[in-house]
Every structure is written in structure tokens, then in C-alpha cells.
């Protein structure tokens, strides 16, 4: 083996060792910093909080707030995979009020304020009115079910 081949060989060995050692140095640095973090980590202490109240404008009345009334919603949908309830009481947002199944019937109890409420069932994502409730024109010209809470 002549001297030119030796220099090429040893140069290649040095380059390979440099390429291998640089990432390992980074790995060692990362492991050391993780060990320092893990050994000295403690959860932050819980601090007491003080609720803040925003002042009301005008006189404060002594009349009690309206009471929420539990309202049960039921639907018979034997082939449905999922049923949800949307209405003016949850800003018509799907995914918030999922109904539970009992055989072919779906049900859900929702506390509502006294008054008139419009709603729809979403049966597998398809809007459907309550067959046992009166209907009216709702948002976007769609027929919706109506429930009056006393």
C-alpha cells in the first residue's frame, strides 16, 4: 500500500468519526439536560385563587334568578348509529349534546330555562324534527320542533 492510499484511508476514517461523533455529542447533551430536568422537577405549588366579580350597571334586583327545569328529549330511531340534540339552547352546535341509546329509543335530559325553545335531532348527521312536538319555521327557513318549558 503506498502513502497516497494510506492518507486517503485515514482521511476517510477521520471524516466518518467526525460525522458519527457530532450527533452523539448532541445526543449526550440532550440526555444530560433531560436528566437535570427529571431529577429536579417538582410540580408547581397550587396557589389560592380569588374570584373577581365584574360590577353590574344599574340597581341590583332582589328577585330570584329563573330556575332551570329538566326537560327530557326522546326519539325512536332503531337504525341510527348516533343521535344528537341541537337547538337554540346550545347555539345549534352539533357534538355538544349526544343522546344515549336504550334499545330503539334515544334520550337525553337537558336543563332549560322557562320559555319557548326550538330544537332538532341530528340522526347520523341528518336533521330531523321531533314527531311528537309541534313545529315552526326556524333559522334558515328550516322546520324545527318547538318545546315550551313552564
Query: Which tens digit of pLDDT belongs to each residue from 92-142?
Result: 999 999 999 999 999 999 999 999 999 999 999 999 999 999 999 988 889
Q: What is the mean predicted confidence (pLDDT) over 75-82? A: 96
**Which CATH architecture describes the domain 69-149?**
Sandwich (2.60)
- Greater model confidence, 38 or 148: 148
Confidence of residue 49 (pLDDT cuts 50, 70, 90): low
* Pairs from 79-84 (Cβ < 8 Å, separation ≥ 24): 80/106, 80/123, 80/124, 81/124, 82/123, 82/124, 82/125, 83/121, 83/122, 83/123, 83/124, 84/121, 84/122
142 in helix, strand or coil?
Answer: coil
Give domain limits for the chain: 1-42, 69-149
Contact 107, 132 (CB under 8 A): no
Q: Which residues of 132-142 are buried (b: 16+ CB within 10 A; e: fewer)?
A: eeeeeebeeee
- Scan for cell 492518507, then name that residue: 7
Among the ranges given (3-12, 72-81, 114-123), the one the predictor scored with the smallest mean pLDDT: 3-12
Amino acid at each position: 500500500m503506498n502513502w497516497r492510499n494510506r492518507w486517503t484511508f485515514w482521511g476517510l476514517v477521520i471524516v466518518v468519526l467526525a460525522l458519527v461523533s457530532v450527533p452523539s455529542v448532541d445526543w449526550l447533551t440532550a440526555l444530560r439536560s433531560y436528566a437535570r430536568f427529571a431529577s429536579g422537577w417538582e410540580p408547581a405549588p397550587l396557589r389560592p385563587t380569588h374570584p373577581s366579580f365584574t360590577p353590574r350597571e344599574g340597581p341590583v334586583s332582589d328577585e330570584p334568578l329563573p330556575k332551570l327545569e329538566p326537560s327530557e328529549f326522546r326519539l325512536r330511531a332503531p337504525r341510527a348509529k348516533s343521535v344528537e340534540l341541537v337547538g337554540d339552547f346550545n347555539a345549534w352546535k352539533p357534538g355538544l349534546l349526544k343522546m344515549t341509546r336504550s334499545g330503539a329509543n334515544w334520550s337525553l335530559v337537558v336543563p332549560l330555562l322557562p320559555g319557548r325553545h326550538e330544537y332538532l335531532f341530528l340522526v347520523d348527521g341528518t336533521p330531523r324534527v321531533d314527531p311528537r312536538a309541534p313545529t315552526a319555521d326556524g333559522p334558515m327557513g328550516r322546520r324545527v320542533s318547538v318545546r315550551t318549558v313552564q
